[in-house]
Amino acid sequence: MIVVKIFVGIYLAVLLINIIFLLVLRDIPQHLRIGIRGMDIPAATKSKMRKRWEKVKSLLESNNASQYKLAIIEADSIADEILSGIGYTGANMGEKLDKINKKDLDDNLESLRGAHQIRNRIVHEADFEVDYRMARTVIGVYENFLRYLEFLD
């Protein structure tokens, strides 16, 4: 009888190890993130974007209007790459924003559209002025977007 108990114990241990091994191979945590959030963002992309975001923050603190513009353009570029990375397609950021369902980004979508419009004015209107207050507000919109997608803590 004791031999049977030992055999069943070993069998259950091996079975449990196999189940854990299969869960790891199938990347269950990724599937859970996709199921909960509807998307998955690789950790490598997150760390790269965090570094770029630190550059945006340093540009914002430069006390130079042209650096404010550059910070907004870079923040928009980060958001554009993230949208591409999670599956939104389009020739540019505006097209990607048009394809997003309002439920997917909660209240961030309209704010993001407004921030992108300011970015477009910076790029297309040479005399468009940006002060610190405006730059801080626009960067705040992008920051909220990154926090919503859990790129920033």
pLDDT score for 36? 47
Closest by CA to 80, choosing from 102, 107, 52, 61, is 52
Give, in order, the Cα–Cα distances in Å from 106 to each of 67, 103, 117, 147. 30, 5, 19, 13
pLDDT at position 27, please? 60
Better-scored residue on pLDDT, 103 or 147: 147
Question: What predicted TM-score, i.e. pTM, was given to this entire model?
Answer: 0.72
CA angle 112, 93, 137 (to 5 degrees): 30
Give the number of other Cβ atoms within 10 Å of residue 152's Cβ: 15
Among 34-38, 57-61, 87-91, 106-110, name the one with the lowest average pLDDT. Answer: 34-38
C-beta neighbour count of 38 within 10 angstroms: 12
pLDDT tens profile 10-63: 999 999 998 887 766 666 555 555 554 555 555 557 778 888 999 999 999 998
